[in-house]
Amino acid sequence: MSKILFVMTGVDYWTLADDTKHPTGFWAEEVIAPYEAFKAAGHEVVVATPGGVVPTVDAGSLSPEANGGPEGADKAAAALASISEIQNPIKLEDARPAEYDAVFYPGGHGPMEDLAVNAVSGRLLADTLRSGKPLGVVCHGPAALLAATDADGSNAFAGRKVAAFSNAEETQAGLAGRAKWLLETRLVEAGVDVRVGEPWAPHVVVDGNLVTGQNPSSSAPLAAELLKKLA
């Protein structure tokens, strides 16, 4: 049995260019699909958030539109409610990478607000990358990579191949024009080798111990790749 750390956003909003706060949090599918895959394989999951706050789900991720209809929405809500670890997170500041066999970052727009500028998270990411342990990051989760800087100021993920929520997807979702910055653009500016797939289609990129996914539909295939590395 392996022990997997889920690092999740601790905020329920994303500040837009006009300084309004867009309600958000984490995206349900990006937690549910990997969690169920890891638990089915017999692994333990520990959730960590900045300050140990209970993470907030983005209400949009539990909508019928995001889940193929009302039945899918009810199933997602029930699945999420059954994950007791979400209600009992540890403080990210107390998380020790050496105690875990793998680290996973789900998305939602929340990480764009807090994890993108969280130095504790940035160090954990850089340390995990260097350790060779499996590191999974999906959708807007790669915003956290922006805080992973080395002593010389360069990004610890510069040159690494990464999938992340694309500018095209942000545009189609209707928020690109209202955002202070776009994830794909900022990652490229940091020197990350962003590999973009078709909008909304599953797209997973594996670069050594780093496994990244572009969007919510990439969550399950990303979890499958992480499980291969834990086998």
The answer to whether residues 183 and 112 touch, using CB atoms and an 8 Å cutoff, is yes
> Would you write out the chain's pLDDT as a tens digit for each of its 231 residues?
999 999 999 999 999 999 999 999 999 999 999 999 999 999 999 999 999 999 999 999 999 999 999 999 999 999 999 999 999 999 999 999 999 999 999 999 999 999 999 999 999 999 999 999 999 999 999 999 999 999 999 999 999 999 999 999 999 999 999 999 999 999 999 999 999 999 999 999 999 999 999 999 999 999 999 999 998
Q: In whole angstroms, what is the distance from residue 143 CA to residue 107 CA?
A: 9
Q: CB-based burial of residue 95 (10 Å sphere; 0-12 exposed, 13-18 middle, 19+ buried)?
A: buried
Which residues touch 129 (CB under 8 Å, ≥6 apart)?
Answer: 135, 148, 156, 157, 160, 209, 210
The answer to whether residues 72 and 62 touch, using CB atoms and an 8 Å cutoff, is no
Phi and psi at 103, nearest 5°, equal: -130, 140
| DSSP secondary structure letters along 68-82 | TSHHHHHHHHHHHHT
